[in-house]
Amino acid sequence: MVQSFDLLLLFDYIGTMVFAISGTLTAAQKRLDIFGAIFIGFVTAIGGGTVRDIMLGNLPVSWIQSNNYFFVILAGILITILFKKHVIRLRNTLFLFDTIGIGVFTVLGLEKALAFGISAPIAVIMGLSSAVVGGIIRDTLTNEVPLIFHKEIYATACITGAIIFLIIYYLHVPEVICESVTVLSIIGIRLWAVKYNITMPHISLSEKE
Amino acid sequence: MVQSFDLLLLFDYIGTMVFAISGTLTAAQKRLDIFGAIFIGFVTAIGGGTVRDIMLGNLPVSWIQSNNYFFVILAGILITILFKKHVIRLRNTLFLFDTIGIGVFTVLGLEKALAFGISAPIAVIMGLSSAVVGGIIRDTLTNEVPLIFHKEIYATACITGAIIFLIIYYLHVPEVICESVTVLSIIGIRLWAVKYNITMPHISLSEKE
Amino acid sequence: MVQSFDLLLLFDYIGTMVFAISGTLTAAQKRLDIFGAIFIGFVTAIGGGTVRDIMLGNLPVSWIQSNNYFFVILAGILITILFKKHVIRLRNTLFLFDTIGIGVFTVLGLEKALAFGISAPIAVIMGLSSAVVGGIIRDTLTNEVPLIFHKEIYATACITGAIIFLIIYYLHVPEVICESVTVLSIIGIRLWAVKYNITMPHISLSEKE
């Protein structure tokens, strides 16, 4: 179990750093100043876990209890500011780590909710929040309708992964296998959706459609 | 008292469902995808109570401690997505239940704050937050200035109702009567304001006005 | 120490009132109605401390535990609504008190974080959050990219001040001196930056720049 946790933790840090990079890049595209970029980088990285921890009552929130997240995020932000051209060229690598990140965040959020005795459907929401709320805050602060509300299969991958986790978890499959299968499912669904350009249907209010 | 509480709880569920419907409709008008609609439906329904619970320290927040809210909200969202044309035609009914909802949310928020030993003026703010914050989050996430800041007597109805509650509550009027009078006052003020198209004055910064 | 605290508390109230005034003025510029102005005035004044308290787990949040903040904020809002032309003419005075306010908020947030056993780098973030989050919420709710992300040395002044505080605090300089030096540093940096029109550099993503 320890091994599984260590690997999860490693990917948690990598995911956090990639989220910080994504926030910093978004801020740069919006022509914010360096402080704006640092701030948006931070909240993108810690937003999801923070909102989850607050709703669960797990306070002080996780990231302020250890300096590790702080330094991982700061590293992501500084790398982006200093080497922005190179970072932008790593688009595909970043996309992959971002996808691994949301898989890991979903699993960690789900497990934390279950540890707090939260029921299965709400635990799915907590897993999802961990993965998507950072990006929603990033887009709201830069005055955009959150990307996740109108583009890409992203949340759907997390929700599907979370449901898979719960099913095999309640079948007493060992936790490390639950975690691996879930993260791989989320990655698989997202890559598949992006490759075939699959998006969620929109709801129309017009009579004709 | 049990009877009063049961009725309040019933209207709490109805109000929550109507808020979920309102969020889903707003998302559809903004041409968000189905996930966006579900997400906005959820946060509109639980936003007010969540912010109130967090500020009071009532954690984990109420809605994650029971599955009832989850299923009520999900039902509201699914009904809207599946039967959107019919839902839109029910505008007047929805408006009425929305109005009952904010009345009930105000009373429940107020009572919860008082139970936490919060002073009267702050308890009014907690009642108001329960009723209006969900809609503010909905509008912010869909990149609009919150409707409540520039249209309709809505918050004013809640504040007036909350003050009426406190006055008769401290006069030792039985709680069930306090609750009923408050909810009916809020409904009355809002219907009256909408009927006569009464809005709050704006503040102008120009010298001429 | 008591004396230092009293003076800090006085400036805390003044800063809170100035933040309420700034929120109310922003709402008026956006042509929101009176409720909108009151709401924005409130969240601008209490936003930073509220988010800090929630992340630390210091609940119920400070401002709902005493009526003082409520009345200070209400006074600021009412003064702005009633005497808006005069308030606008006091621009320079307001700017000065706003600057004192962010200095004091930074110190109070920092000290509260340290009292919660939070590490130095995260305590800096908590100090900064106390000072800037209210304004970020104000701008987000009025549908603007937060001013602080693209204008003025403001956050940088708070961060520099917070680091100065920590250095001299760990050198066992008496707390009252730490507090005074920090607040004066923050004021000094901001006034200097505004006088010489110094801003943070922007990050550019274009190849040419």
Q: pLDDT category, C4, cuts 50, 70, 90?
A: low
Per-chain mean pLDDT for chain A: 89
| Highest mean pLDDT (candidates A90-94, B80-84, C163-167) | C163-167
Q: What would the pLDDT profile of C30-50 be if each residue is shown by its tens digit? A: 889 899 999 999 999 999 999
Q: What would the pLDDT profile of A78-96 be if each residue is shown by its tens digit? A: 999 999 888 888 888 888 8
pLDDT > 90 fraction of chain B, expressed in percent and rounded: 65
pLDDT given for residue B209 in this prediction? 40
Q: pLDDT category, B64, cuts 50, 70, 90?
A: very high
More confident residue, B31 or B68: B68
**What count of CB pairs under 8 Å joins A to B?**
90
Q: Evaluate if residue C209 carries a pLDDT over 60.
A: no
CA distance A51 to A129: 7
Distance from CA of A68 to the nearest CA of C (A): 11
pLDDT given for residue A4 in this prediction? 53
The DSSP element (H or E) to which C83 belongs, if any, is none
Q: What would the pLDDT profile of B108-164 be if each residue is shown by its tens digit? A: 999 999 999 999 999 999 999 999 999 999 999 999 889 888 877 889 999 999 999
pLDDT given for residue B19 in this prediction? 93
Q: Evaluate if residue A207 carries a pLDDT over 80.
A: no
| Highest mean pLDDT (candidates A133-137, B9-13, C196-200) | A133-137
Tokens 């993503």, located at residue? C205
| Tokens of residue B149, six digits | 């800041």
Partners of residue C33 on adjacent β-strands: B202
Q: Evaluate if residue A6 carries a pLDDT over 90.
A: no
Q: What residue segments make up the domains of chain B, in order of their start?
A: 2-195
pLDDT given for residue C207 in this prediction? 47
pLDDT given for residue A203 in this prediction? 72
More confident residue, C134 or A149: C134
Would the CB atoms of C32 and B204 count as touching at under 8 Å?
no
Which residue among C36, C88, C140 places its CB closest to the CB of B149?
C36
Say if B118 is an interface residue toward chain C (CB within 8 Å): yes
Q: pLDDT category, A3, cuts 50, 70, 90?
A: low
Which residue among B57, B136, B154 places its CB closest to the CB of C60?
B57
| Subunits adjacent to chain B (3 or more Cβ pairs under 8 Å) | A, C
More confident residue, C102 or B151: C102
Would the CB atoms of C60 and B59 count as touching at under 8 Å?
no
CA distance C92 to C98: 10
Distance from CA of A110 to the nearest CA of C (A): 20
CA distance A162 to A128: 8
Would the CB atoms of A28 and C126 count as touching at under 8 Å?
no
ipTM attached to this prediction = 0.89
Q: pLDDT category, A2, cuts 50, 70, 90?
A: very low
Mean pLDDT of C62-74: 94
Tokens 């703010």, located at residue? B125
CA distance C155 to B81: 44
C47: helix, strand or coil: helix
* One-character DSSP codes across chain C: -HHHHHHHHHHHHHHHHHHHHHHHHHHHHTT-BHHHHHHHHHHHHHHHHHHHHHHHT--S-GGGG-HHHHHHHHHHHHHHHHTHHHHHHTHHHHHHHHHHHHHHHHHHHHHHHHHTT--HHHHHHHHHHHHHHHHHHHHHHTTS--GGGTSSSSHHHHHHHHHHHHHHHHTT--HHHHHHHHHHHHHHHHHHHHHTT--PPBP--SS--
| Tokens of residue C114, six digits | 């340290």
Say if A204 is an interface residue toward chain C (CB within 8 Å): no
Say if B198 is an interface residue toward chain C (CB within 8 Å): no
Say if C121 is an interface residue toward chain A (CB within 8 Å): yes
Per-chain mean pLDDT for chain B: 89
pLDDT given for residue B85 in this prediction? 87
For B132, which residue in chain C has the nearest alpha carbon? C39
Would the CB atoms of A149 and B33 count as touching at under 8 Å?
yes
More confident residue, C202 or B105: B105
Q: Evaluate if residue B3 carries a pLDDT over 80.
A: no
Q: What would the pLDDT profile of A7-33 be if each residue is shown by its tens digit? A: 888 889 999 999 999 999 999 888 898
Partners of residue A33 on adjacent β-strands: C202
CA distance A176 to A182: 10
Point out the least confidently predicted range of A30-39, A152-161, B3-12: B3-12
Q: Evaluate if residue C115 carries a pLDDT over 70.
A: yes
**Is C8 within 8 Å of C179 (Cβ atoms)?**
yes
A67: helix, strand or coil: helix
Would the CB atoms of C150 and A37 count as touching at under 8 Å?
no
Say if C70 is an interface residue toward chain A (CB within 8 Å): no
Which residue among C57, C136, C149 places its CB closest to the CB of A32?
C149
CA distance B187 to B97: 10
Would the CB atoms of B140 and C140 count as touching at under 8 Å?
yes
Q: What would the pLDDT profile of C175-199 be if each residue is shown by its tens digit? A: 999 999 999 999 999 999 988 888 7
Distance from CA of B205 to the nearest CA of C (A): 7
Q: Evaluate if residue C121 carries a pLDDT over 50.
A: yes
> CA nearest B190: which of B112, B114, B97?
B97
